[in-house]
Amino acid sequence: MDLMFNWEALTKRGKAYTFDDVLLVPNKSEVRSRRDPDLSTHLTREITIDRPFISANMDTVTEAEMAIGMGQLGAIGILHRFMSISDQVDHVRRVKESGAAHIGASIGVNEDFQDRAKALVETGVD
C-alpha cells in the first residue's frame, strides 16, 4: 500500500511546548496605552485588515451577519460555499452594502467553481 504521507515524519517529532512550558516574564512596557499598538495585517499586497482576525468559512460560522460584524470590527469574514451561487452572491452584496471594507468567499472545487468565482468577483468579493 502506497501511503500519501511520510509516517516517520509524523511520528518522530522534535521538542514541542505547551502553554504550561512557556512563561512571559513581566516587564515594564513602553506602550502608553493599549490603543497605541498597530494590529493591522496585510492579507495580500492590496488588502489590509485593521484587526488580525478571520472568521472560518464554515456553514455554522460565517454568513452575511457574521461577515458584517467582522467587517465592523476591522476584521474579515470568509463566506462558506454550502449555498447556491445566487445565495452566496446575495450574502456578498449584503456585506458590501453594510460598509464592510472586505469580504471573502469560498468557492470549492465542485463542477460550479468557475461560475461561482465569476459571479462572486462580479459582485465585489475580495
Q: What is the pLDDT of residues 36-90, one digit of tens each?
A: 999 999 999 999 999 999 999 999 999 999 999 999 999 999 999 999 999 999 9
**Among 61, 64, 40, which Cα is nearest to 50's?**
40
pTM of the model: 0.75
**Residues above pLDDT 70, as percent of the chain:** 93
Task: Give the pLDDT band of residue 16 (cuts 50, 70, 90).
Answer: confident
Task: Give the pLDDT band of residue 22 (cuts 50, 70, 90).
Answer: confident
Q: Is 7 a member of any domain? A: no
Find all residues with CB under 8 Å of 23, minimum gap 6, and list them.
none
Q: Is 63 a member of any domain? A: yes
Q: Is 3 a member of any domain? A: no
Cβ atoms of residues 50 and 75 within 8 Å: yes
Cβ atoms of residues 37 and 69 within 8 Å: no
Q: Is 24 a member of any domain? A: no
Q: What is the pLDDT of residues 94-106, one digit of tens each?
A: 999 999 999 999 9
Q: Is 4 a member of any domain? A: no
Q: Is 113 a member of any domain? A: yes
Q: Is 62 a member of any domain? A: yes
Can you say how many angstroms the Cα of residue 7 is from the centroid of all Cα atoms in its chain? 30
Cβ atoms of residues 76 and 43 within 8 Å: yes
Q: Is 1 a member of any domain? A: no
Predicted confidence (pLDDT) at residue 3 exceeds the cutoff of 60: no
- Predicted pLDDT at 2: 53
- Expressed as residue numbers, the domain containing 108 is 38-123
Residue 7 sits at φ, ψ, to 5 deg, of -60, -40
